[in-house]
Chain A
């Protein structure tokens, strides 16, 4: 969707390296969700951010939502081959909205 831009579109990193994926919106976000998708499979929920400046972490993955609530970043520390997959941001723009708008995804490959 053009409402959400993800960058980069693809990323290849060496195991152990840190990386960052960005998700940018032209409109203020009410909620921002990060999902991971293995090739050809469903989406696995990672984190949800709603407040400006909010930051959440799970294991080696940290996600932040900027103060203006128009950009989120996903940071992976010391990447592992298990981190490989497609990372998708999904957004909600108003309260009570039930349908997500997704970015096109970032394809991550981690070389052992």
Chain B
């Protein structure tokens, strides 16, 4: 098991451009999460998938953000018309639902650092 992977690791873009990030979770993990982390802060929840279904989106996720997990495996996070305030580290995590209740341990990828000029 190679862990959660994210691509690209770094992205520099100009304001107004669209960007897309990819996350490959640990194989057979059915849950996938996106978080955003700005300098000096802890990660903030953005959205969550169980298999291919997107079950919750944070208010932080504006209309310019869209996430997909088409086959219940990898996921993409797209930001349209990027703004300087979108500059952050975007973290992906995955977990395996082993119980009907309780919480799962989330395993994080290395993140994609976005810089919007």
Contact = CB atoms under 8 A, between A and B. Distances in A.
Contacts, number: 71
Interface in A86-111: 88, 90, 92, 95-105
B107 interface: yes
Contact of B42 (A1, A30, A48, A92): A1
B108 interface: yes
Interface string B82-103: 0000000101010100000111
B45 interface: yes
B72 interface: no
**Chain A interface category by residue count:** 20 to 34
B105 A48 contact: yes
30 contacts: A35-B108, A40-B113, A41-B111, A42-B4, A43-B43, A43-B91, A43-B108, A45-B106, A88-B42, A88-B43, A90-B42, A90-B43, A90-B106, A92-B103, A95-B101, A95-B103, A96-B101, A96-B102, A97-B103, A98-B31, A99-B45, A100-B106, A102-B43, A103-B42, A104-B40, A104-B41, A104-B42, A105-B40, A105-B41, A105-B42
